[in-house]
Structure 1
Amino acid sequence: MSAPALKNFEPKDPVQLSPPKDDPISVEKLGEADGSAEGRPVYVAIKGIVFDVSNNRSSYGPGGSYHVFAGKDASRALAKSSVKPEDAIAKWDDLGDKEKRVLNDWYTFFSKRYNIVGRVVGSDH
């Protein structure tokens, strides 16, 4: 993807991101970060990389449009542009090229808005 095309993914307001972390985050710990407990972070993983989306709790927390992704590796759902709970899983390697490109676009979108806090460990994917 060329640099001009990536400009479309720039946030409207500048975002100051912290350096990415590579902390191991278990599937269980990821699941606890679903926005249901006040004071805990809200995480969404894409291709095993965990993003802290807590600053957008209204979208990813309970009752939010994208709560189905919270506390999960939502790679498949993002690639398929789906909000079905059964699609919010880590398995994406069997998808077609078009869906993989969509997933990569979502990864770029998230990486320009949310801090990377770690990577999922203990998952098959």
Structure 2
Amino acid sequence: MADTSEQSTGRFEPKAPVHLAPPKDEIMTREYLSKCDGEHEGYPVYVAIKGTVFDVSGKETYAPGKQYHVFAGKEPNRALGMSSLKVEDAKPEYDDLDDSQKKVLEDWYTFFSKRYNVVGKLQQEGASNL
């Protein structure tokens, strides 16, 4: 079987050009991220994948009541890898996913990185704010 990794990267390209801002490396707490779910006035809408936080504000599909709202304000690595829209799957842990599911998660990371601005990184568990 031929290696299609380079060929498949093109499938993640947006249909229309997207002009992204330079990625930011601001450290963000999970508590702050949880408020960025489209339900807290004055907060943007964010989705984190593998510790990287993407700004999905203005994208209707992440609004309350819409298909992907389950991901808003969370780091839904497990759900993305499993192609699941279940609330109980929208959690950060994904080490026990099989290789094909980890590849799906990586594909989602690539998809988001070509469409949404990176606004920060999640604070590591147990790290202080100093």
TM range (shorter): over 0.9
Question: Partner letter of residue 113 of structure 1?
Answer: R
Deviation at 1:122, TM superposition (A): 4.5
Which residue number corresponds to residue 87 of structure 1?
Answer: 89
Rg larger in structure? 2
Alpha-carbon separation, structure 2, partners of 1:91 and 1:63: 25
Contact 1:50–1:116 (8 Å) recurs in 2: yes
| Aligned with residue 68 of structure 1, among 56, 70, 87 | 70
> Aligned match of 2:43 in 40, 57, 70?
40
Q: Secondary structure at the match of 1:109?
A: helix
Q: TM-score, normalised by structure 2?
A: 0.89
- 1:18 is displaced (CA, Å) by 0.7
Partner in structure 2 of residue 104 of structure 1: 106
Which residue, 43, 54, 58 being the options, matches 1:55?
58
Which of 10, 15, 25 is the aligned partner of 2:13?
10
Is contact 1:74–1:87 with CA below 8 Å preserved after alignment? yes
After TM superposition, the score normalised by the length of structure 1 is 0.93
- For structure 2, the 5+ residue unaligned runs are none
Alignment of 1:18-37 (within 5 A): 18-37=21-40
Of residues 80-89 and 1-10 in structure 1, the stretch that sits farther from structure 2 once superposed is 1-10
In the alignment, the residues of structure 2 paired with residue 70 and residue 41 of structure 1 have an alpha-carbon distance, to the nearest angstrom, of 10
Does the 8 Å contact 1:27/1:123 carry over to 2?
Answer: no
What is the rounded CA distance, in whole Å, between the counterparts of 1:11 and 1:105 in structure 2? 14
Q: Distance in 2 between matches of 1:2 and 1:75?
A: 21
Indicate yes or no: 2:82 matched with 1:77: no
- Number of residues paired by the alignment? 123
Letter paired with 1:118: G
Could you tell me which runs of 5 or more consecutive residues in structure 1 were left unpaired when the two chains were aligned.
none
| Whole-angstrom distance in 2 between the partners of 1:2 and 1:55 | 31
Cα distance in 1, alignment partners of residues 41 and 34 from structure 2: 14
Identity of aligned residues (%): 57
Which aligned runs of 4 or more in structure 1 are off by greater than 6 angstroms?
A: none
